[in-house]
Amino acid sequence: MGEIDKRSLSAGKWLLFVSALTLWGGERGFSNESSRTGDLPASPSVKLIRSDYEKDEITKLCGESVELAESKLTAIVQLSPAERNIENTLLAFEETVAEVTDKTNALLFMGYVSTDPNLRDEGMNCEESVSTFLVKTSARRDLYQAIKGQNARNLDEKRLLDQTLLAFEQNGMNLNDENLAKFVELNSLLSSKSVEFSKNLNSDHSFIEVTREELSGLDEKFIDRLEKREDKYIVYVNEANYPAIMENCTNEQTRFRVLQVNLNRAGERNTQLLEEAVVLRSQIAKLVLGSDKVWADYRISGRMAKDRQAVEGFLKNLKEKLAEKNRQDLNELLEFKKSLDPSATKINMWDINFLANQLRKKNFSIDGEVIREYFPAEVVIDGLFKVYSNMFGVRFQEVPGAKVWSPDVKLFEIHDKKDEKLIAYFYADFFPREGKYDHAAAFSLISGRTLADGNYSVPVSSIVANFTPPSSTLPSLLSHDEVETAFHEFGHIMHQTLTRAPYASLAGSSVARDFVEAPSQMLENWVWQPEVLNLISGHYKDHSQKLPPDLLEKMISARKFQQAYFYTKQLLYGTFDMTIHTQDGPVDVTKTFNDLYKEIIGVDPIEGNHFPASFGHMMGGYDAGYYGYIWSEVYAQDMFSRFKSEGIDSPIVGGQYRKSILESGNMADGIDLLKSFLGREPSDKAFLEKLGIN
């Protein structure tokens, strides 16, 4: 325990326009007649991103982009009421914000992936500048009034108008001038704290020094790739090392040290930043909605859940259903621990992953390190491409000699199989390096949208991960969890790149925060299907040797092992999020988390931890929204049930999924997209069946 599910972090954080300006979801402006997204012009307009910036160039370009956008917004409001129309107000506003985000997203991105620390700093500073600009823009009454007076000419424009006005209204348009100025000030402060929080985590390179003996239980291949200083090994507590140690190291003290250091990354400062952010958010909610409201009210309004009472009821209901199964899972681990150590009386926080992995090996004769041998990264990615290509009717092609920010990064084109037209580009940045963003995520860099000349902008995205890197003697060998992460994050890439929505603010994964994970969560199911596992596996010494049938069968049988604990952990994070964001005043986030950990998980938290300081979701756009991971999985499993019944590799169902879900973006509410794909009302039946709950 101690780590959030890194598969969860999605592109939502990077849709800065959406994050700062547009509400997620909502029920407004939809009609079945408005689905024109599939008929948009397909002629490409291609732009790629740069990474070869000179010193201070990012700062200069960022400033120029914001300045140009501000001048265009000024031109909109300077039009007289008689001169205004839908083209020179709403659509001009949409185009202006799309242009500035397209220009600056690549600059911000360097803050997370560049190999140059100076460029990373400039990228982070640019992120703060752009975020501040968008916050101020979202609270401009003059823009709101110019746009509000317009009439949509068709259903697509009505959707954009409704969503844009709704966003402005949530950003204080009903406040008087004094309170609106206060709103902007509070949001700007909040934005700067979020940027600093991310920067602190990205620049944290915490590690422990251990002897060879203190790494007992770990695979020699893992140890060989560790840095060594004299007679000690340097173990960075990052995503590439943490799981292997917590699951396999038999030295309890080493696991304790790794967990403690991992849960104290940027601990003191980030804890302070989060607590300050919670207070600012509370003030914003009260300013906009009234003194009896809290941040969760403010954030959830307009999402699929509609209000915080629905979320609280959802979490409470799930807690009750999972409690007994979680106790059974932990009791099973305790009994196993007693078999290893008869004097054991309880499970410690640093025991859980280790005991679960060892018991999984014992019960199912599964060795994760043996499984890795059948998942060389190159074979997995090649198989992934084949699966997605067949299902969604696309073709992937590497671009040789592409200019990238690190030698191990690759650029790919996506073509439509029907007519071979170029649809999109995406970068693949799979392996860890110093200073790089240390989780797994999909970043939208250039949004899809209809351009003024009628062509469709070619979307550009990047998958960023920290998979097990190659060593001096071995290629990159992925754990099955990493394979699942690849399918999940690539699901986000598909959502971002296959979009045909006409407006950038409503394109790709710019959907309701409690729906955005559903398309990718659904695709995790593919790595548990025998026919897919056979396609994406191949022993690193001989790729023709697929995952053995008996091992494959054991993996599938073991899938539900400790499942209640996993979902209880997700429940904990969602409950922590809702707890701190339903408070009126200052919150001790560390004590709150520790109390909830003890109550919900049933294990004592490690002393001296500062878990909230590394819980990037709370400062990365998932505040009062983490519940969305479980909430959206209800829909994910429901969608998967159609593939399960009609064909896991069916290009017909895949094509309908592409059109109904992936291409549509936010041109309709998520619930209506689901109905379109499913042909019925959504249900939680498949989700509860997965959990073994009647």
Q: State the catalytic residues.
A: 489
Contact (Cβ atoms closer than 8 angstroms) between residue 432 and residue 112? no
Q: Is 39 exposed, middle or buried (0-12, 13-18, 19+ CB in 10 A)?
A: exposed
Helix (H, G, I), strand (E, B) or coil at 415: strand
Sequence-distant (6+) residues with CB within 8 A of 363 are: 558, 561
Contact (Cβ atoms closer than 8 angstroms) between residue 24 and residue 624? no
At 47, give phi and psi (nearest 5°). -135, 140
At 653, give phi and psi (nearest 5°). -65, -40
User: Which residues does residue 229 pair with via DSSP β-bridges, in sequence order?
Assistant: 232
Token code pair at residue 223 = 């140890």
Cα separation, 300 vs 296, whole angstroms: 6
Closest CA to 312 of 326, 323, 297, 325: 297
User: Which residues does residue 460 pair with via DSSP β-bridges, in sequence order?
Assistant: 425, 446
Closest CA to 487 of 462, 514, 463, 452: 463
Closest CA to 115 of 64, 53, 67: 53
Q: What is the DSSP string of 265-294?
A: TTHHHHHHHHHHHHHHHHHHHHHHH-TT--
Q: For residue 212, what is the DSSP state?
A: S
Token code pair at residue 286 = 């009260």
Dihedral in degrees, nearest 10, Cα atoms 150, 77, 99, 13: -80
The sheet that has 207-210: what strands, in order across it? 207-210, 232-236, 227-229
Token code pair at residue 101 = 């985000």
The interaxial angle of helices 352-364 and 308-340, nearest 10 deg, is 70
Q: For residue 558, what is the DSSP state?
A: G
Cα separation, 490 vs 486, whole angstroms: 6
Closest CA to 138 of 36, 288, 7, 262: 288
* Dihedral sign from CA coordinates of 17, 23, 26, 31: negative
Closest CA to 602 of 297, 332, 202: 332
Cα separation, 694 vs 692, whole angstroms: 7
Cα separation, 163 vs 145, whole angstroms: 15
Alpha helix (H) residue ranges in 581-627? 589-596
Token code pair at residue 299 = 């954030």
Cα separation, 377 vs 659, whole angstroms: 30
At 31, give phi and psi (nearest 5°). -145, 145
At 635, the amino acid letter reads Y
Cα separation, 450 vs 95, whole angstroms: 10
